[in-house]
Amino acid sequence: VPVDAGRSDKGELRTADGTPILLSVNLNDPAEIDALDPATTAGIGLMRSEFAVSSVADAANEEKQLAIYRDVLSWAVDKPVTIRMLDIGGDKPLAGLGDPPSGSSTDLRGIRLLLARPEIARVQTRSLLRAAVAGNLRVMLPMVTFPSEVDEMRQIFREEAAQLARRGLPHLIPPIGMMVEVPVAALMLDTFETADFFSFGTNDLTQYLAACARDSSHSEPFHRRATPAVLRLLGQAMKLAGKGSKPVSICGDIASDPQWLPALLAVGLRHFSVAPERFPAIRSAIMGLRADGTRVAGE
């Protein structure tokens, strides 16, 4: 639980040498916000909507989704809330989905599944468009591989916004960004001109780079040994992302582990989104490091 007793600049965070850092929270179960003070955070860097939409009935329920998204947005007041569209498939199956349900991490999942089942994407799109008027919403697309996928989803947002306008329902098209968690996308990041922001998902990036499924019993040591390669790819992708000067963050679990923070700072990352229970440890680790990732003496 992010707490920062007695400080007036509660949400503000700097490295030991004064570089501003944004530290956000990853939200799974929306009920977790009850134990969080938004003022101590830079907002929600990743809300995994699979927890709010956990059945086929939920996926078809625009009003129910709207209520959940609105709750989180009003809790955050003016802090950004990044809601990721449904990342179904792979390690996150949706029971009862029918065709094409995919349990494979290299088949239809994330945005591929959303575009293959547009009726699911359209319901969530309408909920998000309507929720956007209640706060500072950013929408994030999961498992993007090619720029055309961002464009197709953006088109769905435009079409649904036009529908809502015809029905006289208040709505807003929010910024639409993407997870960078497929190696192809990371290597080609400068080609994603239509994405408004990027967030590195190292959980999936690592499984695809190391050819070792994240839910495999071998994955722990395997993924640890693959991390230097993941960091090298992040470094390259940061340079490509920088060309467009778009907001970049990291929300994979690597950001919740203080041992990798020096390397993440060194590649230029300045916005981290971490599990709520890791927030205090990551916050103090950042204050003990310089922006280049070196530790201040005595730390």
The mark string for 153-182 relative to Mg ion (x by CB under 5 A, - otherwise) is: ----------------------------x-
Residue 294: which of Mg ion, ligand PEP, none does it interact with, CB under 5 to 8 A by kind?
none
C-alpha 153/C-alpha 141 separation (Å) is: 9
Residue showing the smallest CB distance to Mg ion in the complex: 204
**How many Cβ atoms sit within 10 Å of the Cβ of residue 78?**
9
The answer to whether 46 and 199 have CB atoms below 8 angstroms apart is yes
Handedness of CA 232, 234, 236, 239 (dihedral sign): negative
Binders in 230-259 for ligand PEP, by CB under 6 A: 251-252
Of 177 and 201, which has the nearer Cβ to Mg ion? 201
C-alpha 196/C-alpha 141 separation (Å) is: 11
Of 202 and 227, which has the nearer Cβ to ligand PEP? 202
Of 127 and 206, which has the nearer Cβ to ligand PEP? 206
Of 58 and 87, which has the nearer Cβ to ligand PEP? 87
Kindly state the number of chain residues that form the binding site for ligand PEP, as judged by CB under 6 A. 10
Handedness of CA 95, 98, 101, 103 (dihedral sign): positive
Instruction: Kindly tell me which residue out of 2, 38, 174, 201 binds ligand PEP, with binding defined by CB under 6 A.
Output: 201
User: Residue 21: beta bridge partners?
Assistant: none
Question: Look-up: residue for tokens 């990036």?
Answer: 205
Residue 236: which of ligand PEP, Mg ion, none does it interact with, CB under 5 to 8 A by kind?
none
Give start and end residues of each alpha helix (H) in the chain: 56-59, 62-76, 111-116, 118-131, 147-166, 183-187, 202-210, 219-243, 261-266, 279-287
The minimum distance between CB 91 and ligand PEP, in angstroms, equals 7
Of 50 and 204, which has the nearer Cβ to Mg ion? 204
The minimum distance between CB 290 and ligand PEP, in angstroms, equals 26
**198-200 and 248-250 beta bridge pairing:** parallel
Closest CA to 285 of 264, 50, 48, 127: 264
The answer to whether 253 and 202 have CB atoms below 8 angstroms apart is yes
C-alpha 251/C-alpha 279 separation (Å) is: 12
The minimum distance between CB 201 and ligand PEP, in angstroms, equals 3
Our finding on whether 203 is near ligand PEP (CB under 6 A) is yes
Of 124 and 202, which has the nearer Cβ to ligand PEP? 202
Instruction: Kindly tell me which residue out of 201, 238, 255, 269 binds Mg ion, with binding defined by CB under 5 A.
Output: 201
Residues lying near ligand PEP in the complex (CB under 6 A): 46, 48, 87, 181, 201-204, 251-252
Residues lying near Mg ion in the complex (CB under 5 A): 181, 201, 204
